[in-house]
Each structure stands twice: as C-alpha cells, then as structure tokens.
Structure 1
C-alpha cells in the first residue's frame, strides 16, 4: 500500500458523510446537483446519527445517545450560513427545497430562554428517514447484457453507484420566490393586521383638509391646483382655521357660528360654484369680510356669504 494511502487510512476522520447518490438525486431544475441542499442535508443527518459512548477500559460500546437536547435539532438559518459560508438567503431557499422534496420538516416554535423571556420563530429541523433511504440506496436492477440478468452483485447487495432511479428532485427555480415569516405564523399576523389601520384606506375629510403640515401654504396650493373639490360632508373646523379666525378678532362663539354658516352655505350651493381649489383660502376670505363689518346687535343667521350680506352683524360675537 502506498505510504500516502496508508497514512490517510490511519486517520480517524469523523463528521459529515455525503453519499455519492445524493449528487444525482438532489438536483436543481436544470439537472445539476443542488450543492447547497446536499451539504445542509449531510449536516442535519450528522446531528441525527447517535453518539456512541464507549467504556474507557475495554473499548466496548456502553450506550448511544442523541447529540442534541431537545426532541428535534434546533439550528438557525444564520448559524448554518456562518458554518458553511453561505448567505442566509441561500440557506433558507435550500432548506425549503429539501422540505418540499419531503426530505426534512421545518417547524417554528416559541421557546423560553434562561431568563424566562419567550423567543418566537425558533427553527427546529427533523429529517425523514424513509425519504433519505430512498435517495441514498439504489434499488433499481438494471439489465446491461440484454438477457434479463441484473448488474447487481451475486450476493444480492444493493448497488450504491450512479444507477439512475426514479428521480427525486427538488425542482425549484434557481431563485425561487422567497417565503416569509407570515406563512408559518398566520395567527399572530392576522391578529396584528386586524388591529392596524390599512395603509390604503382613504383619508377622512378632516385629514384631507387639516392633517398635512403644508396645509394652507404655497406648497399645498401647488399640490391642489390641478383639481378643485367640494366641501366634504363630514367637514369640521380644523384648529389651524380656528386660530386664523381668532387672530382676526372673532370670539370662540362667533367662530363656531361662522363655521356652521360656512358649511351650510357651501354645501347648499350646486354645481361648479361650490368647487374650490383651496378651502382654507376660502375660509380666510370669509373671516376677513366678517371681521371688517360694522358692529351690530343683529344676531340673525344669514343665508348668503359675507360679501352679499345686506345687514351688518355684530363684530366679535
């Protein structure tokens, strides 16, 4: 025996084992070996191979025990990525392909760590022994001489070479659509969505008129200059509009009354006359005309805007 071969033979090498058949049975859609999936499956199988405990004196096997503490192997995508030099996404996609091929199962759990703090989405992995046996050992007898004889050994030992069986392939695109946390945690996600406001929900009338920080400014006018609107049916007086009226000298009671008159008037006007590009500007003009009218004790409600009032009204009401 050559010295190098003899030296290598004496090495007690332990660790992951990759059967040769996996390279032809775990493949991508283009028929090439799914290298990432093969490497990850060999790691998973290693952890599920029992650890042999031997007696120190005699060397006899005392017992065998599993290598991990829980009922299933707990590994994160990131830890596997760091171990083999993959990206986290490459690990996730390869694990999904192994799962879809029935070779492993993936389970996300919520566990309590030593501090008592619950941690969600902890990944637990379990291999499928039956499926792994199918892709590891070639059981198909192949007739190579045309007389019905198989190429298997006379002893009936299963051939373990690259004999093409019915193919077990992960058959997914090179860059499949990424799966998300939502699929496995439907209950939590659904509860969260039910408590949140839809991002595409239409804004209320008050939000349209008063929520914008640029409302009433030149920037706001540019945004609304292309299309006018009617005063919304659910309009209420925004704080910014009330502050402007106070600055013109109107009392709180007079401002509230003017807001009611303002709303009733413009809602009752038909057609394009009641369509305005900037309702805040319309309110400012309304209040300025009210503030310039002579003081009077006539408190009767008007049916027209300030510029058409025939009787003066009290200032500062």
Structure 2
C-alpha cells in the first residue's frame, strides 16, 4: 500500500461531502460547472445530514439531531462569502443556481429577534429531496 494511503486509513474526515454527480448537474447557464454552487449545495446537504448522538461510555449511536435551529437552515450571503473566501456576488449567483435547477428551495423571511429588532430578507435554504 502507498504510504499516503496507509497514513490516511485512520483519518476521520468530517464536513462536506461532494458527490461526483454534482459536477455534472450543477452547471451555469453557459454549461460550465458551477464550482461555487457545488460547494454551497454540498454545505446545505451537510447541514441537513443528521448529526449522531453517541453514548460517551460505549461510543454507540443513541440517536440523531439536526445541525441547525429552527425549521430550516438559515445563513446569509455574507456568511458564505466569508466561509468560502469569495465575493458576495459570487455567493448570490452560486445560491441562485441550485435554486434555478430545482435542487434547493430559497426562502426569505422577516425575523424578529428576542430584543424586538426586526431583520428583513433573512435567507433560509432547504434541499429539494424530491428533485432529480
């Protein structure tokens, strides 16, 4: 076995997983792969993938929990821009593309904070599990 393979056999990767089919299906209108859209779609699916709850003593899975609060995953274009190191405009395009392709639902709401302040146009994302 290659030494790098041997070293990686015990590494437990966490975070986004990108199915190869995303590169084929998440494309710009020009036909090229939308790499930012691929990354964001994979991040949306990561947040909807249940997190395991394990027994501390045995390590056995005792249940699952969702990774976000509320009824849908909430994130802003600015948060994605900072996370991926790209511009807010690139993020806007990258989020609109999976929405245009019917892979994700994008919803904007007005949210009232506990302090009473109201925030408008708060983005919530949800994968379309019925799509292609």
TM over 0.5: yes
Distance in structure 1 (CA, Å) of the matches to 2:92 and 2:82 = 13
Count of aligned pairs between the two proteins: 132
Distance in structure 1 (CA, Å) of the matches to 2:121 and 2:22 = 30
Higher strand share: 2
C-alpha displacement at 1:31, in angstroms?
Answer: 2.5
Instruction: Give 5+ residue unaligned stretches, structure 1.
Output: 135-317
Distance in structure 1 (CA, Å) of the matches to 2:59 and 2:45 = 25
C-alpha displacement at 1:98, in angstroms?
Answer: 1.1
In structure 2, the residue matched to 1:30 is 30
SS at 1:129 equivalent: coil
In structure 2, the residue matched to 1:116 is 116
C-alpha displacement at 1:115, in angstroms?
Answer: 1.1
In structure 2, the residue matched to 1:44 is 44
In structure 1, the residue matched to 2:63 is 63
SS at 1:16 equivalent: coil
Distance in structure 1 (CA, Å) of the matches to 2:68 and 2:29 = 34
Superposition RMSD in Å: 1.1
SS at 1:58 equivalent: coil
Q: Greater RCO between the two (CA within 8 Å, min separation 6)? A: 2
Higher helix share: 1
Q: Does the Cα contact within 8 Å between 2:27 and 2:97 map onto a contact in 1?
A: no
Distance in structure 2 (CA, Å) of the matches to 1:3 and 1:96 = 42
SS at 1:32 equivalent: coil
TM norm structure 2: 0.94
